Structure 1
Amino acid sequence: MSQKVLITGANGQLGKELVELFTKKGFEVYGFGRDKMDITNQAQVQEVISTLKPNIVLHSAAHTQVDLAESEPEQAFSINAYGTRNVAVAAEAIGAKLVYVSTDYVFDGKTDETYNEFSPTSPLGVYGKSKLAGEQFVRDFHSKFFIVRTSWVYGKYGNNFVKTMLQLGEEKKEISVVSDQIGCPTYTLDLANSILEFVGTERYGLYHVSNSGSCSWYEFAQAIFEYKKIEINVNPCKTSEFPRPAKRPVYSVLTSMALKLNHFESKRNWREALIDFLEK
């Protein structure tokens, strides 16, 4: 009998990738967007999860608009913190494994050392604080969880940096891209494959999953144009030249001690993943 998987945020860029991958691997997949299940509605979450009784819950639904979160903190905490609590409580009640997708924004980026799973957290903005509160609720209310922190996510679904750059490459001769923020790009397919690998085990806990290596947004953009042979002038600029409501961590390079110690496959280099994505 195939295992049942319930996926929240199923219309998002990672959610769609998870639906596709788990369906392909023979799981019985139930994808829920906000239209079918509002995670902030505890009674609804309880009813859906207790009726379906999935073996695994993949929780990728989130308030991800980093700048908007600064002006609507209650909304961000309602979705990212209490919405996650609702999912965790309902999943625990039926004994399902839970995967919660978190973020590099739980760190302040004020160091030039990479962050592993045991590095102290210190989020700068509402988005990071609300996602960290979600992590805490998972720890408080669930016993069989995987918290998966990731960064700079892109893939074939939804809007993301790679698609934006490809579009700008068609429209413009010259662009400026921030060169003083360093992180790890992550291809949704690689992230989804790690999640698939986790749920087949009982090696619960916190994991950092991003492609290996690091770059600035400027270097990331250069790599995209270079590979696609797009002629465009890319100028490096500073974060301070484009003031945004939310502060971003300047250096949020994730490294995974947990993947290694738990004998999971380490992730390929970000350039290799990018080429694979652009070829597809």
Structure 2
Amino acid sequence: MKVLITGSKGQLAKEFIKHLTDKSIDFIAFSKEELDIRDTNKVFKILKELRPNIVINCAAYNLVDKAESFREDAIAVNTFGVANLAFACKEINAFLIHFSTDYVFDGTKEGFYTEDDKPNPINEYGRSKLFGEFFLQRILENYLIFRTSWVYGEGKQNFLYKLEEWAKEREYLKIAVDEFSVPTSTRTIVEVTMKAIEEGLTGLYHLVNSGYASRYEWAKEYFRIKGIKKLILPAYQADFNLPAKRPRWSVMSCEKICKDLGIEIRKWKEELEINLL
């Protein structure tokens, strides 16, 4: 198995790199500077030269609020960049693994979102990710798309890192109590992805830890485990007046992936504690 990873400086790629290194699996990882997936010629050149068996796309434009004003930038990476990888993988017969988001949903469902539910994104970021899924599914047959949510790991582009930074600067924090999804660790994503590769799965899956939480509950649990004494007040999404709308309820079920792999995925609280202790 020869693996190529894009977006090597991101938190998810770092977890893949750590795992593949520990398992002595042959891989090469590229940063955005080394391989910008928006660059069609560069993507084809590198993939045809290296001819990996598996491409793991960890490159993404994930600045949700900024995407409202810079829609073209989000689409360039999350849509056309993914299409570039898909076309290149098709040419060399490589397997493409891509990560999408719970923000493809509008948050109006009463109950867990499944892979059969119709997407209806309410922000530009979500639309760009959904378009990426659309192109990939029509270009390739040999792929895995994993929708995930509230991802955290080693890096600065996640809610928990921002939470600690806010705690250093502010007397108290206000966190949304009416926004629900599933906190999901990069470790869980990598473990399940590698299992899916071993079992030869293809198609679209939701890959999240079990259960669900509000932003407020997640923040409270994180500070409890870390022993951080900081007042956290419940607030509402509307209080923050952010440029991008967020679905109030984007909780996805991991039942399909668990059934197809014959596994159980840890509950988000248990996984958070394991990661932090």
Q: TM-score range by the shorter chain?
A: over 0.9
Question: Within 5 Å, which residues of 2 pair with 1:17-36?
Answer: 17-36=15-34
Question: Within 5 Å, which residues of 2 pair with 1:182-221?
Answer: 182-221=180-219
Conservation of the 8 A alpha-carbon contact between 1:22 and 1:196: no
Q: What is the Cα deviation at residue 172 of structure 1? A: 3.8
Who is 1:45 aligned against? 43
C-alpha separation between the residues in 2 aligned to 1:157 and 1:195?
20
Q: Tell me the SS of whatever aligns to 1:58.
A: strand
Q: Which amino acid aligns with 2:138?
A: D
Conservation of the 8 A alpha-carbon contact between 2:196 and 2:261: no
Conservation of the 8 A alpha-carbon contact between 2:199 and 2:261: no
Conservation of the 8 A alpha-carbon contact between 1:56 and 1:199: no
Conservation of the 8 A alpha-carbon contact between 1:106 and 1:129: yes
Q: Residues 72 and 214 (structure 1 numbering): CA distance in 2 closer, same or farther, change over 3 Å? A: same
C-alpha separation between the residues in 2 aligned to 1:153 and 1:124?
20
Query: 1:65-109 deviations in whole A, cap 9, x for unaligned?
Result: 011111011111111111000001111211111101000000000
Q: Which amino acid aligns with 1:162?
A: L
Residue 84 (structure 1) aligned with residue 79 (structure 2): no
**Any gaps of 5 or more consecutive residues in structure 1?**
none
C-alpha separation between the residues in 2 aligned to 1:185 and 1:136?
25
Pick aligned residue for 2:56 from 58, 78, 84: 58
Conservation of the 8 A alpha-carbon contact between 1:152 and 1:185: yes
Q: Residues 206 and 56 (structure 1 numbering): CA distance in 2 closer, same or farther, change over 3 Å? A: same
Who is 2:252 aligned against? 254
C-alpha separation between the residues in 1 aligned to 2:170 and 2:133?
41
Q: Which amino acid aligns with 2:10?
A: G
Query: 1:96-144 deviations in whole A, cap 9, x for unaligned?
Result: 1110100000000012311011111101111111101110111111111
C-alpha separation between the residues in 2 aligned to 1:95 and 1:266?
31
Q: Which amino acid aligns with 1:80?
A: N
Conservation of the 8 A alpha-carbon contact between 1:117 and 1:257: no
Query: 1:238-275 deviations in whole A, cap 9, x for unaligned?
Result: 11110111100100001023213313423101011111
Question: Within 5 Å, which residues of 2 pair with 1:124-203?
Answer: 124-203=122-201
Conservation of the 8 A alpha-carbon contact between 1:117 and 1:206: yes
C-alpha separation between the residues in 1 aligned to 2:3 and 2:152?
23
Query: 1:171-230 deviations in whole A, cap 9, x for unaligned?
Result: 444211111000100011111111111122322111111111111000001101112222
Conservation of the 8 A alpha-carbon contact between 1:57 and 1:97: yes
Q: What is the Cα deviation at residue 167 of structure 1? A: 3.4
Q: Which amino acid aligns with 2:190?
A: A
Pick aligned residue for 2:274 from 255, 258, 276: 276
C-alpha separation between the residues in 2 aligned to 1:261 and 1:233?
40
Q: Tell me the SS of whatever aligns to 2:117.
A: coil
Q: Which amino acid aligns with 1:104?
A: D
C-alpha separation between the residues in 2 aligned to 1:80 and 1:108?
19
Residue 236 (structure 1) aligned with residue 234 (structure 2): yes
Q: What is the Cα deviation at residue 60 of structure 1? A: 1.3
Paired-residue identity, %: 36
Q: Which amino acid aligns with 1:114?
A: F
Q: Tell me the SS of whatever aligns to 1:210.
A: coil
Pick aligned residue for 2:221 from 223, 229, 236: 223
TM-score by length of 2: 0.96
RMSD (Å) for aligned C-alpha atoms: 1.3
C-alpha separation between the residues in 2 aligned to 1:16 and 1:260?
24
